[in-house]
């Protein structure tokens, strides 16, 4: 079979409907349990085989690294070394997912790069091999290989695929603040935690397509740290909930806050209200839930 010379892939973001931290492991990583959902919002990653044995990265954002600090560069380098690929790779990354915002934009870029290079170089990786490779690049990469609706455990590498999430509009609001995921995890006080996620209720809500059951049980324990350091997170949630959101929560370690809406016009109205009343907002985006066909078939 003739190998592809290039491929264009959609790299979708995610939100955390729940996020619980169970404790710190001996290797320094934190044991988590989270329910994640893909959103329709996506970056694009264009990959092209080069005759020269080199890696070239371009992006639409001038502040993003294009060397080995870029996760796509790291992914290409890892695959080239592991599978003794002598060709080079050119990657053009067009970012639409807010950067460093708790939405797994980088992890999603890495995931589609694994899928794309498997096609371009005809590596015949199994999906399990891709998952193991992805887990070495980032905790969210395995989920991003699946996409859709899933529960993740361990450090994020243990994926349990769930029923498809019911359709809903999602407003994403990213304030102009910098969050260190490492610092947030290290500052988390589990002993004083008053509210923990009830994942079984959320899973039941997803299975029964019950939006109220899902939204009533949004819970992210990392909010206790991020909200304390950045009160705008709780202010955004309160404002969104007063403007017809079914409920709102922070995704990952932040700073993106997401809110569910049954009607798009309500999401538009809430977005206008946020723009009018908050000065330091980096991104406001209206999107929706995304439930793919079997992920591996998307580029087949």
User: Known catalytic residues?
Assistant: 14, 140
Phi-psi domain of 168 (left: phi exceeds 0; alpha: psi -120 through 50; beta: other): beta
Token duo for residue 270: 């809430």
Residue 233: phi, psi to the nearest 5?
-60, -50
Distance CA 248, CA 246 (A): 7
CB 213 within 8 A of CB 204: yes
Where b means 16+ CB within 10 Å and e means fewer, 60-90 reads: eeeebebeeebbbbbbbebbbeeeebeebbb
Q: Which ranges constitute the DSSP H helices of the chain?
A: 71-82, 105-120, 127-135, 141-146, 181-187, 199-207, 211-215, 223-229, 232-242, 264-277
Could you tell me which of 220, 185, 190, 187 has the C-alpha nearest to residue 202?
A: 220
Q: Which residue has the tokens 């008053």?
A: 194
Length of the chain counted residue by residue: 300
């Amino acid at each position: 079979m003739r190998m592809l010379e290039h491929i264009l892939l959609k790299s979708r973001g995610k939100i955390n409907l729940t996020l619980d931290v169970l404790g710190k492991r001996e290797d320094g990583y934190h044991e988590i349990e989270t329910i994640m959902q893909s959103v329709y919002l996506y970056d694009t990653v264009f990959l092209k085989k080069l005759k020269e044995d080199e890696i070239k990265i371009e992006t639409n954002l001038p502040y993003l690294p294009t060397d080995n600090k870029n996760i796509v560069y790291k992914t290409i380098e890892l695959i080239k070394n592991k599978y003794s690929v002598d060709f080079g790779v050119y990657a053009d990354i067009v970012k639409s997912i807010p950067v460093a915002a708790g939405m797994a934009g980088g992890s999603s870029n890495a995931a589609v790069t694994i899928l794309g290079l498997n096609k371009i170089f005809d590596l015949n990786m199994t999906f399990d091999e891709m998952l193991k490779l992805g887990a070495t690049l980032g905790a969210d990469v395995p989920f991003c290989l699946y996409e859709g609706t899933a529960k993740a455990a361990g450090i994020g590498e243990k994926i349990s695929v769930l029923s498809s999430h019911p359709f809903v509009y999602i407003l994403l609001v990213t304030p102009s603040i910098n969050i260190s995921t490492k610092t947030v995890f290290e500052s988390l006080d589990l002993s004083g935690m008053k509210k923990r996620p009830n994942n079984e209720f959320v899973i039941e809500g997803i299975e029964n397509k019950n939006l109220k059951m899902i939204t009533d049980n949004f819970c992210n324990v990392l909010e206790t740290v991020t909200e304390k350091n950045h009160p705008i997170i709780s202010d955004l949630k309160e404002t969104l909930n007063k403007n017809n959101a079914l409920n709102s929560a922070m995704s990952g370690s932040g700073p993106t806050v997401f809110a569910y809406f049954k009607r798009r016009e309500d999401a538009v109205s809430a977005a206008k209200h946020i723009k009018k009343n908050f000065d330091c907002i980096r991104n406001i985006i209206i999107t929706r839930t995304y439930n793919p066909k079997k992920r591996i078939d998307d580029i087949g």
